[in-house]
Amino acid sequence: MVVMFAQAFGGAALPSLFLDPTNPLREPLGMLGITLAALLFVYLIRRFLDRRPWSSLGWQKPWHILPGVLAGALPILAAQGLSLAMGATWMPVDASMVLTALPLGVVMLLLNQAFPEELLWRGHVFDSLSQRLSTRTVLIITSAGFGSLHIFSQGSGSTVVEKLVYALMATGIGFAAGAARVRSGGVWMAVGVHLGFHLASRSVPVKPVNVSVLYVLITIGLAVAGAVLLRGQGVIKARAGDRVTV
């Protein structure tokens, strides 16, 4: 958790020391800094503290990011569709602007959140804990830990209920991404799940009647997506005490 905050704030801080707030390069360089800080911190921890090989993070199949995006986006789109059926407002947008900004948005979301956060949680932490604990236990720990951090997120809402439900939704993201890690044996599909979540959330302009209800619907969808990814992996139906390897 300390590393996650350090990479988020430390990595983004360096460009702000040298670039004016109006400089268009400040934000993208800050996001690049977050990814570079995550790579550095995870490498140092694995090299000098955990002594785990870099290859065990599962870099072999980067194309797994594509099915991961699909798995992360579908629950959001389904929840937003249900929200519209329940009276949510569809906010009009300029489709041409969305399509123009989409490629840059994908890169920025990847560098700012999806890759650095999944490198740490479903990459290093998942791999490290899997040496001592069952896969089911690792899924619970990484999902709950990831979700609890989002109580303090800027997007967590203004009321206590909204903050708690937002953290529950983040736990759902962690579970779906962890299931993708189990399914694929590497970090890339988990990165895709995280990226797909943010792309779908930001691409469909829906204003729900009650944001907490939308968060609950998204959480349910992410739980279903995670369960589908875990099907046949021997995790959900494993007996207590069984160790399931990735």
Pseudo-torsion of CA 238, 225, 42, 198, nearest 10°? Answer: -170
In this prediction, residues 175-203 reach a mean pLDDT of: 95
What is the model's pTM?
0.90
- How far lies 120's CA from each of 3, 12, 20, 53, 148, in Å? 8, 17, 30, 14, 15
- Per-residue confidence band for 238, with pLDDT thresholds at 50, 70 and 90: very low
Q: Does some domain include residue 41? A: no
Q: Is residue 37 part of a domain?
A: no
Q: Flag whether 88 is in a domain.
A: yes
Cβ neighbours of residue 161 closer than 8 Å, sequence gap 6 or more: 212
pLDDT band at 245 (very low <50, low <70, confident <90, very high): very low
pLDDT for 244 beyond 50: no
Mean pLDDT value across residues 8-17: 86
Cβ–Cβ < 8 Å for 64, 193: no
Q: Is residue 209 part of a domain?
A: yes
Q: Kindly state the tokens that stand for 41.
A: 């911190």
Q: Is the predicted pLDDT of residue 13 greater than 90, yes or no?
A: no
In a domain, 144, yes or no: yes
Do residues 246 and 134 touch, judged by C-beta distance below 8 A?
A: no
Could you tell me which residue, 121 or 15, shows the higher pLDDT? 121
Can you give the pLDDT at residue 1?
Answer: 83
Residue 129 in any domain: the answer is yes
CA angle centred on 9, ends 5 and 14, rounded to 5° = 150
pLDDT in tens, 27-83: 899 999 999 999 999 999 999 998 899 999 999 899 999 999 999 999 999 999 999
User: Quick one: pLDDT band at residue 219, thresholds 50, 70, 90?
Assistant: very high
The predicted pLDDT at position 135 comes to: 95
For residue 164, being part of any structural domain is answered with yes
Give residue 171's domain range.
58-230
What three-state secondary structure class fits 89?
strand
Q: What's the pLDDT at 33?
A: 94
Q: Please write the tens of the pLDDT for every residue from 125-178.
A: 999 999 999 999 999 999 999 999 888 776 656 788 888 999 999 999 999 999
User: Which tens digits make up the pLDDT trace of 91-127?
Assistant: 766 666 566 677 888 999 999 999 999 999 999 999 9
Q: String of b and e for 20-54 (b: at least 16 CB within 10 Å)? A: eeeeeeebebbbbbbbebbeebbeebbeeeeebee
The number of domains in the chain is: 1
* Residue 21 is assigned to a structural domain of this protein: no
